[in-house]
A and B are shown apart, each in its own frame.
Chain A
Amino acid sequence: MSEQGIGAAIERREDERFLKGIGTYTDDINLEGQTYCYILRSPVAHARIKRIDTAAAAAAPGVVAVFTSDDLTNDGVGGLPCGWQVTSKDGEPMKEPAHPILAAGKVRHVGDPVVAVIAESLRQAKDAAELIDLDLEELPAVVDMKAALAGGGPAVHEDVAPNNLCYDWELGDAAAVEAAFQNAAHVTKIDLVNNRLVPNAIEPRVAIGDYDAASGAHTLYTTSQNPHVIRLLMGAFVLNIPEHKLRVYAPDVGGGFGSKIFHYAEEALVTWAAKKIGRPVKWVAERSESFISDAHGRDHVTHAEMAFDANGKALGMKVETLANMGAYLSTFAPCVPTWLHGTLMAGQYATPAIHVNVKAVFTNTVPVDAYRGAGRPEATFVVERLMSKAARELGLDQTEIRRRNFIQPDQFPYDTPVAVQYDTGNYEASMAKAIELADYANVAARKADAKARGKLRGVGVASYIEACGIAPSSLVGALGARAGLYEAATIRVNPTGSVSVLTGSHSHGQGHETTFAQVVADKLGIDIDQVEIVHGDTDRVPFGMGTYGSRSIAVGGTAIVNALDKIIAKGKKIAAHLLEAAEDDIVFENGAYTVKGTDRSKAFGEVALVAYVPHQYPLEELEPGLEETAFYDPKNFTFPAGTYICEVEVDPRTGEVEIASFVAADDFGNVINPMIVEGQVHGGLVQGIGQALLEHAIYDENGQLVTGSYMDYAMPRAEDVPSFKVTTTSTPCTHNPLGVKGCGEAGAIGAPAAVINAICDALAEYGVDHIDMPATPEKVWRAIQAATPAAAAE
Chain B
Amino acid sequence: MYEFEYLRPTSLNEAAAALASSSEASLIAGGQTLIPALKQRLSRPSKLIDLGAITDLKDIRREGSHLIIGAMTPHAEVAASDVVREAIPALARLAGGIGDPQVRHRGTIGGSIANNDPSADYPAALLGLGATVVTNSREIAADDFFTGLFTTALNPGEIITAVRFPVPAKAGYAKFAQRASRYAIVGVWVAKVASGVGEVRVAVTGAGADGVFREGGLEKAFSLSATPETARGVKVGPDGLLSDIHASAEYRAALIPEMAARAIVDGWGGGG
Is A29 engaged at the interface, CB distance under 8 Å to the other chain? no
Q: Knowing A123-B1, A778-B247 touch, does A713 contact B180 (C-beta < 8 A)? A: yes
Residues 226-252 of chain B: 1 if any A CB is under 8 Å from the residue's CB, otherwise 0? 000000100000000000011110010
Q: Given the complex of chains A and B, what is the CA–CA distance between A654 and B261 in angstroms?
A: 12
**Nearest neighbor of B247 in chain A, beta-carbon distance:** A778
Residues of chain B contacted by A288 (CB below 8 angstroms): 40
- A706 with B245: CB separation less than 8 A: yes
- B245 with A654: CB separation less than 8 A: no
Q: Given the complex of chains A and B, what is the CA–CA distance between A457 and B40 in angstroms?
A: 44
- A778 with B251: CB separation less than 8 A: yes
Residues of chain A contacted by B180 (CB below 8 angstroms): 694, 707, 710-715
- A712 with B181: CB separation less than 8 A: yes
- A778 with B248: CB separation less than 8 A: yes
Residues of chain B contacted by A706 (CB below 8 angstroms): 245
Is A726 engaged at the interface, CB distance under 8 Å to the other chain? no
Is B167 engaged at the interface, CB distance under 8 Å to the other chain? no
Residues 38-65 of chain B: 1 if any A CB is under 8 Å from the residue's CB, otherwise 0? 0011000000000000000000000000
Residues of chain A contacted by B255 (CB below 8 angstroms): 654
- B1 with A654: CB separation less than 8 A: no
Is A781 engaged at the interface, CB distance under 8 Å to the other chain? yes
Q: Given the complex of chains A and B, what is the CA–CA distance between A777 and B176 in angstroms?
A: 10
- B41 with A126: CB separation less than 8 A: yes
Residues 319-335 of chain A: 1 if any B CB is under 8 Å from the residue's CB, otherwise 0? 00000000000000000
- A698 with B245: CB separation less than 8 A: yes
Q: Given the complex of chains A and B, what is the CA–CA distance between A672 and B70 in angstroms?
A: 57
- A711 with B181: CB separation less than 8 A: yes
- B254 with A781: CB separation less than 8 A: yes
Q: Separation in Å of the B211 CB from the closest CB of chain A?
A: 18
Is B258 engaged at the interface, CB distance under 8 Å to the other chain? yes
Residues 201-239 of chain B: 1 if any A CB is under 8 Å from the residue's CB, otherwise 0? 000000000000000000000000000000010000000
Is A596 engaged at the interface, CB distance under 8 Å to the other chain? no
Q: Separation in Å of the A430 CB from the closest CB of chain B?
A: 32
Residues 163-198 of chain B: 1 if any A CB is under 8 Å from the residue's CB, otherwise 0? 000000000000010111101000000000000000
Residues of chain B contacted by A710 (CB below 8 angstroms): 180-181
Residues of chain A contacted by B232 (CB below 8 angstroms): 653
- B181 with A707: CB separation less than 8 A: no
Q: Separation in Å of the B260 CB from the closest CB of chain A?
A: 12
Residues of chain B contacted by A707 (CB below 8 angstroms): 180, 245
One of B178, B245, B248, B258 near A653 (C-beta < 8 A): B258
Q: Separation in Å of the B161 CB from the closest CB of chain A?
A: 29
Most buried by B among A130, A706, A777, A782: A777
Residues of chain A contacted by B41 (CB below 8 angstroms): 126, 130
Q: Separation in Å of the B248 CB from the closest CB of chain A?
A: 7
Residues 78-97 of chain B: 1 if any A CB is under 8 Å from the residue's CB, otherwise 0? 00000000000000000000
Q: Separation in Å of the A134 CB from the closest CB of chain B?
A: 16
One of A654, A714, A720 near B176 (C-beta < 8 A): A654
Q: Given the complex of chains A and B, what is the CA–CA distance between A513 and B255 in angstroms?
A: 50
Q: Separation in Å of the A699 CB from the closest CB of chain B?
A: 11
Q: Separation in Å of the B206 CB from the closest CB of chain A?
A: 14
- B179 with A694: CB separation less than 8 A: yes
Q: Given the complex of chains A and B, what is the CA–CA distance between A126 and B40 in angstroms?
A: 11
- B254 with A712: CB separation less than 8 A: no
- A781 with B251: CB separation less than 8 A: yes
Residues of chain A contacted by B181 (CB below 8 angstroms): 710-712
Residues 700-728 of chain A: 1 if any B CB is under 8 Å from the residue's CB, otherwise 0? 00000011001111110000100000000
- A712 with B248: CB separation less than 8 A: no
Q: Given the complex of chains A and B, what is the CA–CA distance between A713 and B255 in angstroms?
A: 21
Q: Separation in Å of the B102 CB from the closest CB of chain A?
A: 12
Residues of chain A contacted by B1 (CB below 8 angstroms): 123
**Nearest neighbor of A710 in chain B, beta-carbon distance:** B180
Q: Given the complex of chains A and B, what is the CA–CA distance between A674 and B247 in angstroms?
A: 42
Q: Given the complex of chains A and B, what is the CA–CA distance between A777 and B175 in angstroms?
A: 14
Q: Given the complex of chains A and B, what is the CA–CA distance between A698 and B176 in angstroms?
A: 21
8 Å CB contacts to B: which residues of A734-787?
Answer: 776-778, 781-782
Q: Given the complex of chains A and B, what is the CA–CA distance between A654 and B40 in angstroms?
A: 35
**Nearest neighbor of A123 in chain B, beta-carbon distance:** B1
**Nearest neighbor of B176 in chain A, beta-carbon distance:** A654
Residues of chain A contacted by B251 (CB below 8 angstroms): 777-778, 781-782
Q: Given the complex of chains A and B, what is the CA–CA distance between A230 and B251 in angstroms?
A: 48
Residues of chain B contacted by A778 (CB below 8 angstroms): 247-248, 251
Residues of chain A contacted by B254 (CB below 8 angstroms): 654, 781
**Nearest neighbor of A288 in chain B, beta-carbon distance:** B40
Residues of chain B contacted by A777 (CB below 8 angstroms): 176, 251
**Nearest neighbor of A700 in chain B, beta-carbon distance:** B245
Q: Given the complex of chains A and B, what is the CA–CA distance between A777 and B247 in angstroms?
A: 9
Q: Given the complex of chains A and B, what is the CA–CA distance between A714 and B248 in angstroms?
A: 17
Residues of chain B contacted by A130 (CB below 8 angstroms): 41
Q: Given the complex of chains A and B, what is the CA–CA distance between A776 and B185 in angstroms?
A: 13
Residues 247-272 of chain B: 1 if any A CB is under 8 Å from the residue's CB, otherwise 0? 11001001100100000000000000
**Nearest neighbor of A698 in chain B, beta-carbon distance:** B245
Residues of chain B contacted by A776 (CB below 8 angstroms): 179
Residues 120-149 of chain A: 1 if any B CB is under 8 Å from the residue's CB, otherwise 0? 000100100010000000000000000000
Q: Separation in Å of the A199 CB from the closest CB of chain B?
A: 16
- B40 with A714: CB separation less than 8 A: no
Residues 1-13 of chain B: 1 if any A CB is under 8 Å from the residue's CB, otherwise 0? 1000000000000
**Nearest neighbor of B248 in chain A, beta-carbon distance:** A778
Residues of chain A contacted by B247 (CB below 8 angstroms): 778
Residues of chain A contacted by B245 (CB below 8 angstroms): 698, 706-707, 712
**Nearest neighbor of B181 in chain A, beta-carbon distance:** A711
**Nearest neighbor of A782 in chain B, beta-carbon distance:** B251
Q: Given the complex of chains A and B, what is the CA–CA distance between A123 and B179 in angstroms?
A: 33
Q: Given the complex of chains A and B, what is the CA–CA distance between A715 and B232 in angstroms?
A: 31
Q: Separation in Å of the A711 CB from the closest CB of chain B?
A: 5
**Nearest neighbor of A694 in chain B, beta-carbon distance:** B179
Q: Given the complex of chains A and B, what is the CA–CA distance between A710 and B178 in angstroms?
A: 11
Q: Given the complex of chains A and B, what is the CA–CA distance between A777 and B186 in angstroms?
A: 13
Residues of chain A contacted by B183 (CB below 8 angstroms): 711
Q: Given the complex of chains A and B, what is the CA–CA distance between A463 and B223 in angstroms?
A: 54
Q: Separation in Å of the A57 CB from the closest CB of chain B?
A: 15
Most buried by A among B41, B183, B248, B255: B255
**Nearest neighbor of A651 in chain B, beta-carbon distance:** B258
Q: Given the complex of chains A and B, what is the CA–CA distance between A698 and B244 in angstroms?
A: 12
Most buried by A among B178, B179, B247, B248: B179
Q: Separation in Å of the B185 CB from the closest CB of chain A?
A: 9
8 Å CB contacts to A: which residues of B95-129?
Answer: none
Residues of chain B contacted by A698 (CB below 8 angstroms): 245
Q: Given the complex of chains A and B, what is the CA–CA distance between A713 and B40 in angstroms?
A: 18
Residues of chain B contacted by A720 (CB below 8 angstroms): 179
Q: Given the complex of chains A and B, what is the CA–CA distance between A378 and B149 in angstroms?
A: 41
Residues of chain A contacted by B178 (CB below 8 angstroms): 714
Residues of chain B contacted by A653 (CB below 8 angstroms): 232, 258
Residues of chain B contacted by A654 (CB below 8 angstroms): 176, 254-255, 258
Q: Separation in Å of the B50 CB from the closest CB of chain A?
A: 21
8 Å CB contacts to B: which residues of A661-711?
Answer: 694, 698, 706-707, 710-711
Residues of chain B contacted by A714 (CB below 8 angstroms): 178-180
Q: Separation in Å of the B19 CB from the closest CB of chain A?
A: 26
Instruction: List the 10 closest pairs (A to B, CB-CB), nearest first.
Output: A714-B180, A714-B179, A711-B181, A778-B251, A653-B258, A712-B180, A694-B179, A778-B247, A706-B245, A654-B258
Binding site for A on B (CB under 8 A): 1, 40-41, 176, 178-181, 183, 232, 245-248, 251, 254-255, 258
Having A712-B181, A714-B180, A778-B248, one finds 18 other A-B pairs with CB under 8 Å, namely: A288-B40, A653-B232, A654-B176, A654-B254, A654-B255, A654-B258, A706-B245, A707-B180, A707-B245, A710-B180, A710-B181, A711-B180, A711-B181, A711-B183, A713-B180, A720-B179, A776-B179, A781-B251
Binding site for B on A (CB under 8 A): 123, 126, 130, 288, 653-654, 694, 698, 706-707, 710-715, 720, 776-778, 781-782
* 9 A-B residue pairs with CB within 8 Å: A653-B258, A654-B258, A706-B245, A707-B245, A712-B180, A712-B245, A714-B179, A776-B179, A781-B254
